[in-house]
């Protein structure tokens, strides 16, 4: 009877994986560590899709590999969270959008838990990740900024049109007084 043996990756393969994870960490604006124990394959697929739609990525990375990849990076402080099965949320564009997506998923699936994360060198515990999710996203902030920038122009145009509008109303009232039937 043939004995089943697990194929272990070679040193070059391990080094390549570490380098790949390190590059992804360098590209990420936020990294959040989660515990996914108990999630079904369907739930995990939905989570990955939702995070991807928010310009992020959800990956399961072995702790030993993650420790090596974290070394000498801005995310080195996350190594203290590496116990048990961990999933990593990496946000590449808008940290708020990624955290909103993650927090919403956690609220719907109690088996997923946020352990912590890092944003611009600041450690985020579970509460801070939830607070980040409450902030307006980049598109919302851009829309508000655009509205603020347009408000003075709209007011100025309205003021510039007002004398002409008054003149038209004045002429119309004079015309009606002179020609009450027309």
Contacts of 123 (CB under 8 A, 6+ apart): 77, 116, 117
- The predicted model scores a pTM of 0.69
pLDDT in tens, the chain (182 residues): 455 555 666 788 888 888 888 888 888 888 899 998 888 899 999 999 999 998 899 999 888 888 888 887 888 888 888 888 899 999 998 888 999 999 999 998 888 889 989 888 788 888 888 888 887 766 666 676 676 676 677 676 776 777 777 777 878 888 888 876 75
Q: What local confidence, expressed as pLDDT, does residue 44 receive? A: 92
Closest alpha carbon to 70 in 90, 43, 50, 51: 90
Whether the CB-CB separation of 88 and 112 falls below 8 Å is answered with no
Edge-to-edge strand ranges of the sheet holding 56-60: 56-60, 86-91, 30-35, 113-119, 122-124
- What stretch of H or E contains 92? none
In whole angstroms, what is the distance from residue 86 CA to residue 36 CA?
6
| Per-residue tokens: 121 | 């060198």
Check the CA dihedral 32-98-60-35 and report its sign: positive
In whole angstroms, what is the distance from residue 84 CA to residue 60 CA?
11
Sole residue written with tokens 């109303």: 169
Q: What local confidence, expressed as pLDDT, does residue 89 receive? A: 92
Q: What local confidence, expressed as pLDDT, does residue 174 receive? A: 82
């Amino acid at each position: 009877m043939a004995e089943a043996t697990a194929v272990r990756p070679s040193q070059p393969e391990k080094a390549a994986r570490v380098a790949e994870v390190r590059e992804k960490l360098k590209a990420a604006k936020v990294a959040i560590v989660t515990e996914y124990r108990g999630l079904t394959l369907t739930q995990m697929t939905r989570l990955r899709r939702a995070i991807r739609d928010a310009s992020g990525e959800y990956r399961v990375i072995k702790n030993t590999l993650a420790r090596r990849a974290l070394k000498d990076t801005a995310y080195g402080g996350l190594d203290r969270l590496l116990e048990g099965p961990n999933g990593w949320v990496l946000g590449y564009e808008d940290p708020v959008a990624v955290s909103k997506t993650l927090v919403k998923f956690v609220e719907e699936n109690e088996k997923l838990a946020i352990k912590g994360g890092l944003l611009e060198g600041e450690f985020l515990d579970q509460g801070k990740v939830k607070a980040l999710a409450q902030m307006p996203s980049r598109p919302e902030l851009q829309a508000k900024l655009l509205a603020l920038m347009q408000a003075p122009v709209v007011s100025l145009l309205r003021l510039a049109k007002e004398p002409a509008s008054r003149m038209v109303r004045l002429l119309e009232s004079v015309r009606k007084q002179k020609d009450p039937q027309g």
